[in-house]
Amino acid sequence: MIRFQLPLLLASTEMDEMIRPVFLLVMGVLLVVFAWRIAKSASACNARLIVVGGLMLGFGYAVLLPILETAEIMAHAAPARSHAVTAETYGWHTVVLVVMNGGWLLFGIGMALHAKIWRVPGTRGKTSLHHCS
């Protein structure tokens, strides 16, 4: 039976609960750095979209999600308070919803415009990806 529980063990051990916020924080910071460096090779409008989206995603991954997950772990540790759904909880979830989804939308649109996925093939030769530094 232990074989069947392997994903469960991988996802919900105490170690994972401690590692996951740190992992999210590192990934968020790296995402901002790499979005910044990718945006240097894009045109002005796309660069703005990529940087704004990357900053929103980085803020979401590096700040909001670790705080939210830690708060949920704390709420599990103190079950007396875990059922209190307050305006604060709604506010947190709203901010996470808007920041993460907006960040992915802006970052995705910026990368899509940068990669020219709406270009008709064969009309203008090579994309800018071949000669960006």
Partner 1 sequence: MNPTLEAILCNRQLIDAGGVIGLGLFALAAARIARESRSPGARLMAIGAELLLLARLYSLMAPHVLSTDVLLAIGALGNALTIGLPPLLLGFGLCGVVGGLWVHLRHLRGLALAESPRP
How far apart are CB 81 and partner 1 at their closest, in Å? 21
Q: Does 102 bind partner 1 (CB under 8 A)?
A: yes
Q: Is 10 in the site for partner 1 (CB under 8 A)?
A: yes
If you search the block for the tokens 């703005």, which residue do you land on? 48
Shortest gap between Cβ of 74 and partner 1 (angstroms)?
18
The verdict on 132 binding partner 1 (CB under 8 A) reads: yes
Complex with partner 1: residue 5 or 43, whichever CB lies closer: 5
Q: Are 40 and 47 in contact (CB under 8 A)?
A: yes
- Mapping DSSP to helix (H, G, I), strand (E, B) and coil, where does residue 36 land? helix
Q: Residue 80 or 118: which CB sits closer to partner 1?
A: 118
Q: Is 43 left (phi over 0), alpha (psi -120 to 50) or beta?
A: beta
> If binding is defined by CB under 8 A, does position 42 make contact with partner 1?
no
SS (H, E, C) 59-114: HHHHHHHHHHHHHHHHHHHCCCCCCCCCHHHHHHHHHHHHHHHHHHHHHHHHHHHH
Footprint on this chain of partner 1 (rule: CB under 8 A): 1, 4-12, 16, 20, 23-24, 27, 30-31, 34-35, 37-38, 41, 53, 61, 87, 90-91, 94, 97-98, 100-109, 111-112, 114-117, 126-127, 129-130, 132-133
